[in-house]
Amino acid sequence: MPQPLDLSASSIDITRAICDIESVSGNEGALADAIEAALAPLEHLDVVRDGDAIVARTDLGRGRRVVIAGHIDTVPLNDNLPTEFRTTEDGTEILWGRGTVDMKAGCAVQLKLAVDLVAPNVDVTWVFYDHEEVSDALNGLGRLARTRPELLAGDFAILGEPSGAQIEGGCNGNLRAEVRTSGKRSHSARSWIGDNAIHKTAPILATLAAYEPRTVTVDGLEYREGLNAVGISGGIAGNVIPDEAMVHVNYRFAPSRSADEAVAHIRELFDGYDVTIVDLAAGARPGLDAPLAQQFVAAVGGPAPRPKYGWTDVARFSALGVPAVNYGPGEPVFAHHDDEQVPVAQITAVEDGLRRWLTA
């Protein structure tokens, strides 16, 4: 059984402690137990458990509520636990190991502040959720949104996704489609009898190669779109003309477009083909026009907010009508990397930024 969490320690040491409690998706129970045990005795928090998601809320009657969330699961290990403190060639002190970036450093900051901030200037809901790194159907935040939406209600939300300790507004939407062609099977020695479905993918690939993705300004942030083939399949045997082929297309679309509009765009581009949408997630607008968001940006300081190009769970808050941003320690390029590592200074910076805002 893991050692009890010492939340009087620094956020850096808490990061190391929760990273060393292995919690690959589907195995979050031990870490959820430890978080619940550490938060439940605190008189200023009402703690609710839903599966392996822990929700801790203040109820101070502040009139405004902020939700601050992070997922506690990780991708599988690859000889990168336990964590280690290291120093890079340029002298940067880092914490190395699975989960340090995605996204237990952000969760550690949440835990530290949940304990310390007995009387924040707004009511705060702290959310630690499970199953983010696997299928959407299992996502703990999605489960709460479906079954306990009252626990996620708020005027503004922050997701601790790694953002290099900078504010990243909203996120692009994500669509995956299978574009199929059909033909007629025959022996390749008599290919004129058949109709080659693989050859018919050429116009699909030409459309993708010629496509010029947009850069779209949404509430002051520039979101870059992308439309790409990410897979292609077809073929039966070395002497058979194939009667079916498929190009797997991924479309990352700016939050100015709805999910339905993104689908319509793809169907228009590939009109005449058999198009199946296999995954679809709407994006989220930056959320920076909300008064709480503006106060947050001012309190954090530093570089101007930038867009989040990948899809994140801020979109779940947006769907609930809660404006949300990404703000967490760690560079996204190290997420899921076997050399996962977070500069310890970024952990402290995110803690300081949130603390200034919640106590101003």
Residue 279: both structure tokens together: 């995954």
Residues known to be catalytic: 73, 132
Q: What angle do CA 78, 84, 85 make, to 5 degrees?
A: 145
Q: What is the pLDDT of residues 50-94, one digit of tens each?
A: 999 999 999 999 999 999 999 999 999 999 999 999 999 999 999
Sequence-ordered alpha helix ranges (H) in the chain: 11-19, 29-39, 105-116, 140-147, 202-210, 259-269, 291-300, 314-319, 344-359
* Side-chain-facing half-sphere of 18: CA atoms under 13 Å: 38
Q: What is the pLDDT of residues 292-344, one digit of tens each?
A: 999 999 999 999 999 999 899 999 999 999 999 999 999 999 999 999 999 99
- pTM for this one? 0.91
Per the CB < 8 A criterion, the answer to whether 244 and 180 are in contact is: yes
Q: What angle do CA 318, 319, 323 make, to 5 degrees?
A: 20
Residue 89: both structure tokens together: 């060639």
SS3 217: strand
The strand pairing partners of 96, in sequence order, are 84, 341
Q: What is the pLDDT of residues 81-128, one digit of tens each?
A: 999 999 999 999 999 999 999 999 999 999 999 999 999 999 999 999
